[in-house]
């Protein structure tokens, strides 16, 4: 018997006299709804906004994406954990406990891993990272609830003895602050400047090291994923990562050929209080700029657009996006609960991409500055690689700026 099946530790009889395992975990929603399950991962409780992710693969990359800080993920795919976990697929650079997802909700128990790259059972991996989880619930029903009512705040709790203070959990869930107005970037950003030289993973070779660089890129870290940095290096860039609260003069002192605005969690308007003035200083000097996810929203805010909270957000590795310039459709990875309000874009910003799921903005480009951004994750990890070309577009923009 594994730890993921600790629901067998206690048993109760139902009305018909059948013996049933005693629940060892709860998901308590802000409206007072209590969903019983069986505990896995860390013991204790955690708070967060519940969202659903439709990806069928790449759960370790998802669970270590800093953009999920402050959230609880329910996977719509039922079999999570069957390939185990390892140290190569982690996406967060900041290894602090707050730098990722708070909890995880699964349909089925975690099975023993069956993959040659696995080094540990997912349950042990979750425990080590302090992530509270539960399994054995109807994740389709939970997903339908989110689609109907939006992403709820909740408490997730795991107690092997099945004893919970339910009224206290309900009170905590009801008192949780909405994601609106929350700046979660300080919990995921780096604390100091550093250089990045690792290149993308190659089958049976692992990760490589940077060769000769053509351009120097400063990456502003709002919760950056490792594979973004790897692809920048692979595209021929020397990468210097700077904390989210870096001052404009410190960024400009490095004389970068380009500036990258990373992904990250929370309400972009809250992060924009200190991030937008830095981006505006970069744009004023016409330094090529590329943003992804939260970085896309930051670029929008920097030119005067507004952002808005989404009903259910976009989380998954199967989101179709149309490139309005070429007419081509890309299948993309997405992870965001806020979006740029396209109706508020100024005259010098044009929409370049659109989500084919709901028509929300998925990309912008400035007409008077060498700057562009996308709402989705072209670096994948996990997900399709349809959008890797955007890193080449950024490099071409820096090439052109140097010629000019």
The per-residue pLDDT for 4 is 46
Per-residue pLDDT of the chain (404 residues; tens, 9 = 90+): 344 445 544 555 555 555 678 999 999 999 999 999 999 999 999 999 999 999 999 999 999 999 999 999 999 999 999 999 999 999 999 766 556 899 999 999 999 999 999 999 999 999 999 999 999 999 999 999 999 999 999 999 999 999 999 999 999 999 999 999 999 999 999 999 999 999 999 998 999 999 999 999 999 999 999 999 999 999 999 999 999 999 999 999 999 999 999 999 999 999 999 999 999 999 999 999 999 999 999 999 999 999 999 999 999 999 999 999 999 999 999 999 999 999 999 999 999 999 999 999 999 999 999 999 999 999 999 999 999 999 999 999 999 999 97
Rounded alpha-carbon distances, angstroms, from residue 366 to 148, 283, 401: 36, 10, 15
Q: Please confirm, yes or no, whether 315 is among the known catalytic residues.
A: no
Q: What are phi and psi of 5, to 5 degrees?
A: -115, 40
Which of 121, 215, 353, 377 is catalytic? The answer is: 377
The per-residue pLDDT for 11 is 55
Q: Please confirm, yes or no, whether 237 is among the known catalytic residues.
A: no
Predicted TM-score of the model (pTM)? 0.94
Which of 293, 314, 330, 353 is catalytic? The answer is: 293
- Please name the fold of domain 3-175: Glucose Oxidase; domain 1 (3.50.30)
Q: What CATH number is given for 185-403 in this structure? A: 3.40.50.880
d(CA 295, CA 3): 39
Indicate the domain borders of the chain: 3-175, 185-403
Q: Please confirm, yes or no, whether 296 is among the known catalytic residues.
A: no
């Amino acid at each position: 018997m594994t730890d993921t099946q600790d629901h067998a530790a206690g048993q109760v009889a139902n009305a018909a006299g059948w013996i049933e395992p005693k629940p060892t975990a709860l998901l308590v929603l802000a409206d007072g709804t209590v969903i019983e399950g069986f505990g896995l991962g860390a013991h204790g409780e955690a708070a967060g906004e519940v969202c659903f992710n439709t990806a069928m693969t790449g759960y370790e990359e998802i669970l270590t994406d800093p953009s999920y800080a402050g959230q609880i993920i329910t996977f719509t795919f039922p079999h999570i954990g069957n390939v185990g976990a390892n140290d190569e697929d982690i996406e967060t650079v900041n290894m602090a406990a707050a730098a990722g997802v708070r909890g995880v909700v699964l349909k089925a128990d975690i099975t023993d891993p069956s993959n040659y790259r696995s080094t540990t059972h997912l349950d042990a991996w979750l425990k080590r990272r302090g992530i509270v989880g539960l399994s054995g619930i109807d994740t389709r029903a939970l997903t339908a609830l989110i689609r109907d009512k939006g992403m709820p705040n909740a408490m997730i709790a795991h107690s092997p003895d099945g004893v919970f203070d339910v009224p206290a959990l309900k009170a905590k869930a009801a008192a949780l602050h909405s994601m609106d107005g929350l700046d979660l970037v300080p919990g995921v950003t780096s604390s100091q400047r550093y250089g990045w030289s690792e290149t993308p993973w190659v089958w049976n070779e692992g990760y490589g090291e940077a060769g000769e660089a053509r351009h120097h890129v400063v990456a502003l870290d709002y919760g950056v994923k490792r594979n973004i940095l790897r692809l920048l290096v692979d595209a021929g860039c020397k990468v210097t990562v700077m904390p989210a609260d870096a001052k404009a003069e410190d960024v400009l002192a490095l004389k970068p050929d380009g500036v990258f605005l990373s992904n990250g969690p929370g309400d972009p308007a809250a992060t924009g209080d200190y991030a937008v003035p830095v981006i505006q200083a970069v744009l004023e000097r016409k330094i090529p700029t590329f943003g992804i996810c939260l970085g896309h929203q930051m670029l929008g805010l920097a030119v005067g657009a507004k952002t808005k909270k989404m009903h259910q957000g976009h989380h998954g590795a199967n989101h179709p996006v149309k490139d309005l310039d070429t007419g081509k459709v890309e299948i993309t990875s997405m992870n965001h609960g806020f979006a740029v309000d396209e109706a508020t874009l100024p005259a010098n910003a044009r929409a370049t991409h659109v989500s084919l799921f709901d028509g929300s903005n998925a990309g912008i480009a400035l007409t008077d500055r060498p700057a562009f951004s996308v709402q989705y994750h072209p670096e994948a990890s996990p997900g399709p690689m349809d959008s890797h070309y955007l890193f080449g577009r950024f490099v071409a923009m820096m090439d052109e700026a140097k010629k000019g």
